[in-house]
Amino acid sequence: MSFEPKTTIEPFRIKSIEPVGMTTLEQRQAALKRVGLNLFQLRSEEILIDLLTDSGTGAMSASQWSAMMLGDESYAGSRSFFKFEARVKKITGFKYMLPTHQGRSAEHILFSTILTPGQIVPSNTHFDTTRANIEMQGVETCDFLISEGKNPMLDYPFKGNMDTEKLEALIEEKRDRIPIVMITVTNNAGGGQPVSMANIREVSRICHANDIPFFIDACRFAENAMFIKLREPGYADRTPLQIAQEMFSYADGCTMSAKKDGLSNIGGFLALNSEAWSERCRNKMITIEGFPTYGGLAGYDMEALAVGLEEVLDEHYLRYRLGTIEYLGMRILEAGIPIVRPTGGHAVFIDAGALLDHIPWHQYPGTALSAYLYEISGIRSGEMGSAVFAKKNADGTLTPAPYELMRLAIPRRMYTRSHLDYVAEAVIYAARHKREIRGVRFTYEAPVLRHFTARFEWID
Ligand SMILES: *Cc1c(COP(=O)(O)O)cnc(C)c1O
């Protein structure tokens, strides 16, 4: 007997439920008008399925909720801190851990402590808060993603890898200006594409041969570890924990947003081996986050994190997690709709520019598709195209983003397979009726990070 089910089931059952926003077409049309087609401005009760982001939006487990009752809210020396710290040390092996309220705060503490103006920090691809926190210090950033990673439709197992030849060339030329090298796992900006162990090892070798500390932006370390297990020769029999431990063993420190693979709604940390840097970072931390045994967190948050960081490395969970994203991506792809391939760890990206070939980039096909999808179905997605990433030139013209994408980011442990079937159905309906979708134009834009507060209107 060998029952081999094809269905990837949720490896949990539901104990506590929360209603979703049921609306009529007329209500959604009125809401779109009110917010100027900008889904960031919707209220959550107007949304049926919220795929805006996977950050801090997931569901916690019964173990996490019960652990929260043990939260020790002592200002100094909290028991909850020591549990959290022990868990982080077990996974990362780093000697020092500083808790923070989220990832960008860990970035800010690290970069404002160790960087000086005129330096350069290379990465596979910096996430936008990482880039902003580095550039705020008067430091340049550069992204050395392998060329395979820049082609959205190319099927390649590790599209998040760093181009190590480019890294070596930069080090050769400007060694003295490089204080650290970073690598983001998985590569969020590139669609949640993983980085291979071989690549992490090689980047580490290059850094250490040149005496440069190597840091990991570890937000999705568990998803990355599972991709290594599934795709990289030699790792099939290792546990996700063992793989994660090996990944971190090549690095000197990491920044982490626990709103992702911490399976929690808030939290983060900075972990590192250098005693001198951790002492300086801790002093900086006290002025902006809080005492070193709580950072920006309550004791109960640290309890939830200690449990979340254990649950996230469960192989059944990770199989389901990656399998879910792949399932949604395949349903959409099989309907002939172009997506970024292979699917990454936390989202399905639709190539709105290719799908809506009647809408030019400067009429924002990703924004248009996203607004239309909400209108027909109540699903909230996010534009990842020129409304977000176009670069303003000195003469006032815009250079478009490389691709006009629309992102369906999947919160962790939150939606069932039937929710995802509904999403696939709605996306397929939108594709079949694409001639109904018109381009959009800005009616308001802020000078920076315009996508959060922008207003648009449909072009007739
Ligand atoms: C989310 C994220 C961050 C920032 O973390 P926050 O908790 O949102 O501040 C940094 N890097 C990557 C790769 C991320 O996905």
Average pLDDT over residues 447-456: 86
Residue of 266, 311, 310, 306 whose CA lies nearest to 289: 266
∠ at Cα 349 (345, 350), nearest 5°?
A: 155
Band of residue 413 on the pLDDT scale cut at 50, 70, 90: very high
Asked whether the beta carbons of 222 and 240 are under 8 A apart, the reply is yes
- Directed axis angle between helix 79-92 and helix 240-249, to 10°? 80
What pLDDT digit, counting tens, does each position of 179-188 carry? 999 999 999 8
Fold of 62-311: Aspartate Aminotransferase; domain 2 (3.40.640)
Neighbours of 392 (CB within 10 A): 12
Give per-residue pLDDT as tens, 93-124.
999 999 999 999 999 999 999 999 999 999 99
Each residue's pLDDT tens digit, 184-243? 999 987 779 999 999 999 999 999 999 999 999 999 999 999 999 999 999 999 999 999
Looking at residue 123, its pLDDT comes to 97
**Pocket flag, ligand 1, residue 217 (CB < 6 Å):** yes
pLDDT score of 450: 84
From 347, 346, 368, 308, select the one nearest 67 (Cα to Cα).
Answer: 308
Higher pLDDT among residues 37 and 450, named by residue: 37
Class level of CATH domain 25-54+314-458 = alpha beta
Amino acid at 381: S
Atom 1, ligand 1: residue with shortest CA distance = 257
> How far is 341 from 424, CA to CA, in rounded Å?
16
Tell how far the Cα of 420 is from the centroid of ligand 1, in angstroms: 25
Ligand 1 centroid from CA 251, angstroms:
19
* Contact call for residues 401 and 390 (beta carbons, < 8 A): yes
Tell whether the model's pLDDT for residue 446 goes beyond 90.
no
Given ligand 1 and candidates 57, 108, 125, 129, which is best to mutate, with the most ligand atoms within 8 Å of its CB?
129
Output b/e per residue, 13-47; b: 16+ Cβ within 10 A.
Answer: eeeeeeeebebeeeebeebbeebbbbbebbeeebb
> At 28, is the pLDDT very low, low, confident or very high (cuts 50, 70, 90)?
very high
pLDDT digits (tens, 9 = 90+) for 343-353: 999 999 999 99
Distances (CA, A) of 123 to 55, 105, 180, 214, 392: 21, 19, 9, 10, 23
Neighbours of 281 (CB within 10 A): 23
Q: Where are the domains of the chain?
A: 25-54+314-458, 62-311
Would you say 434 and 335 are in contact if contact means Cβ atoms under 8 Å apart?
no
Ligand 1: which atom is nearest the Cα of residue 104? 9
Query: How far away, in angstroms, is 264 Cα from ligand 1 center?
Result: 13
More confidently predicted of 39 and 393: 39
pTM for the whole structure: 0.95
Instruction: Please state the atom number of ligand 1 nearest to the C-alpha of residue 184.
Output: 13
Position 316 pLDDT exceeds 80 = yes
Q: What pLDDT, on the 0 to 100 scale, is given for residue 6?
A: 85
Q: What's the gap between Cα 86 and its chain centre?
A: 25
How much is the pLDDT for 447? 79
What is the structure's pLDDT at 153?
83
Q: pLDDT for 379-400, tens place per residue?
A: 999 999 999 888 888 888 989 9
| Atom 11 of ligand 1, nearest CA residue | 127
